[in-house]
Structure 1
Amino acid sequence: MGVVVELGKARKAVGSASALTTLVEEDMGRVNAIIIERARSHVDLIPELARHLIDSGGKRLRPMLTLASAKLCDYTGSGHVHLAASVEFMHTATLLHDDVVDESELRRGKKTARMLWGNEASVLVGDYLLGQAFKMMVDVGSLDALRILSNAAATIAEGEVMQLITANNTATTQDEYLAVINCKTAALFAAACEVGGTIADRPKSETAALRAYGRNLGLAFQLIDDALDYSGQQADLGKSIGDDFREGKITLPTVLSYRWGNEAERDFWRRTLQDGDIQDGDLEHAISLIERRGAGEATVERARDYGAIARDALAIFPDSDAKEAMLETVDFCVSRAY
């Protein structure tokens, strides 16, 4: 007998995006049931490790966007539920792989799977979840949906390689960084929304609009995370304040602070992010430099710009509860207080 993954109290409402949570509540119950079923295995380590990540309290935003997009397009079948579960498994697999590549020790305040079971187990369980995701896509029987999500999987992997190239490189440009998050984060947001319209067999103009909505929402979401990591206040980000700094990650606030700083400030960023020489008080100093140069504000402003584009993308759809929920989600992602 295999071990069963129990979601327990892991699923949390998406903050102030209450309209989205309410809109898809019933379908998300079905998605969670599928996740439990598909995470079964006679190899006990697989569901045990998967349960560790699921129980850490993710928001499930991406699968909820798949469900909402399908509702926006008046889809009446059941394929969107399986596609939403596929999207969540892809995201979970990505987190497992990310933590190995980034050598992360904590995720959402808990030890990462790699710290408990090792890098090899984390990578292989991530691969298992990806395999299950693609099996569910095949079960739905939509070649277009399979194409969209498989392309997203390849793009995410490309983003990981791009991030390796820019890792600890303080000379990274804005364009280079935005290209990384476009692949790593925005690609899955875009695909999650696009498949909702594709499964409903809507015209390309509408599926393209959903893709644009998801992509720009994903960029805004990631940039706000980047800014909040240096906000200087504790927040329920799904990570601790300063994680990016401690891991030497290059994000837009550090790119801008480095570019706009004086030579002494650039020396500080090279020592900490490039050389990995982080000393007591350095995080506080990093936060002060980002505040001094306005890099955090500039990052948030860029996120607002992407959020505005996401909102505009939905203009071709008639007013509905689904549209209102998706517009509210943009506001949540951009203005969330955590």
Structure 2
Amino acid sequence: MNIATKAKPHDRLATYLSEDMTAVGALIRERMASEHAPRIPEVTAHLVEAGGKRLRPMLTLAAARMCGYDGPYHVHLAATVEFIHTATLLHDDVVDESAQRRGRPTANLLWDNQSSVLVGDYLFARSFQLMTEPGSMRVMRILSNAAATIAEGEVLQLTAAQNLATDESVYLQVVRGKTAALFSAATGVGGVIADAPEDHVRALFDYGDALGVAFQIVDDLLDYRGQSDATGKNVGDDFRERKLTLPVIKAVAKADAEERAFWVRTIEKGRQEEGDLDTALGLLHRHDALMETEREARNWAEKARSALAPLPDHPVREMLSDLAEYVVSRIG
């Protein structure tokens, strides 16, 4: 099937789940309110209303619906997932000293770092309140484990991102932590709340994990492909922020002494000069690092599609399969 002939899969999912997504939006607005600290809804609304696709909460709703759930609590879990995601974005932008998110100034730029960190903390606390409401210990375990894994992945990235000894296995551990953990939790809890068979829950976890890895690899690739509109970041941000992502890891593995000295200067020591980004791009092309990174992204997307096989025949299953294909189609 050629997905170019159809509406984008996340748009089709949004249409299919429109009633549920409206309920999620209403719950988010209700729970991000604060009687005593108006700064909280101000900062949160800036990010939540910025026009993001809300892919992660949609995955929770989609998984629950595909598994036949007809209760109210998939909405609470979807809002929980979005709060966790929004909290991590607020914290990430402070850590990365980012000035732009989804094409708009970041909260830390418009307000200050303290506001971003503390409002992020508030959203994490709200997410834990929300996840208790379905009364499922397993749901709470999955989502709380995801929150811990995300934080662990971010800390690991701090130490690994500027160390040329970081290899692909460590990179994958970072990606599984900071990105894929929330994708797999989002899909997994949808199956759990629907009381789906264990093999269906496992399939949903595996799908979310592989989709999250593919998603992050594509983002890291697009950073060097000149596609800022596809990521909401500025081109070359990862290089300027000295993040050792998969394309650079692959180039470093093949570097000669002179090339390695370049990577040491620009990534490990942070002494970047005019023209260094162009030099980096040249090295990535010379060693086929971008092409190999693209191949890995496509492999992970195919793993995601394959993971759906045990799940029931349902319109959502096709949309999720198409979504995995669409993630890598952003590469162009």
Fold shared per TM-score above 0.5: yes
Does 1:117 find its partner at 2:96? no
- The amino acid across from 1:23 in the alignment is Y
1:306 paired residue among 300, 306, 312: 300
Partner of 2:44: 50
Partner of 2:30: 37
TM-superposed deviation, 1:115: 2.4
Q: Distance in 2 between matches of 1:15 and 1:119?
A: 36
Q: Distance in 2 between matches of 1:32 and 1:291?
A: 43
Partner of 1:322: 316
Q: Distance in 2 between matches of 1:232 and 1:75?
A: 42
Alignment of 1:160-239 (within 5 A): 160-239=154-233
Q: Distance in 2 between matches of 1:97 and 1:108?
A: 15
Unmatched runs of 5 consecutive residues or more in structure 2: 1-6
TM-superposed deviation, 1:337: 4.6
Q: Distance in 2 between matches of 1:213 and 1:296?
A: 24
Partner of 1:18: 11
Partner of 1:104: 98
- The amino acid across from 1:36 in the alignment is R
Aligned-residue CA RMSD (Å): 1.6
User: What is the TM-score with the length of structure 1 in the denominator?
Assistant: 0.92
The answer on whether the counterparts of 2:224 and 2:281 sit within 8 Å (CA) in structure 1 is: yes
Partner of 1:68: 62
Partner of 2:121: 127
TM-superposed deviation, 1:28: 0.8
TM-superposed deviation, 1:316: 0.6
- The amino acid across from 1:32 in the alignment is G
TM-superposed deviation, 1:138: 1.2
- The amino acid across from 2:96 in the alignment is D
The answer on whether the counterparts of 1:108 and 1:240 sit within 8 Å (CA) in structure 2 is: no
- The amino acid across from 2:18 in the alignment is E
Q: Distance in 2 between matches of 1:36 and 1:239?
A: 26
- The amino acid across from 1:47 in the alignment is P
The answer on whether the counterparts of 1:23 and 1:325 sit within 8 Å (CA) in structure 2 is: no
1:318 and 1:55, CA in 2 relative to 1: closer, same or farther beyond 3 A?
closer
The answer on whether the counterparts of 1:19 and 1:328 sit within 8 Å (CA) in structure 2 is: no
1:15 and 1:119, CA in 2 relative to 1: closer, same or farther beyond 3 A?
farther
TM-superposed deviation, 1:112: 2.0
Does 1:288 find its partner at 2:282? yes
3-state SS of the aligned residue for 2:309? Answer: helix
Partner of 1:241: 235
Please give the per-residue CA displacement for 1:184-220, whole angstroms capped at 9, x wherever unaligned: 1000000000000000011211111100000000000
Q: Distance in 1 between matches of 2:281 and 2:9?
A: 27
TM-superposed deviation, 1:108: 2.8
3-state SS of the aligned residue for 1:279? Answer: coil
Q: Distance in 1 between matches of 2:107 and 2:183?
A: 24
Number of equivalent positions: 325
TM-superposed deviation, 1:111: 2.7
1:291 and 1:232, CA in 2 relative to 1: closer, same or farther beyond 3 A?
farther
TM-superposed deviation, 1:15: 4.9
TM-superposed deviation, 1:105: 2.9
- The amino acid across from 2:178 in the alignment is K
Percent of aligned positions with the same letter in both sequences?
52
User: What is the TM-score with the length of structure 2 in the denominator?
Assistant: 0.94
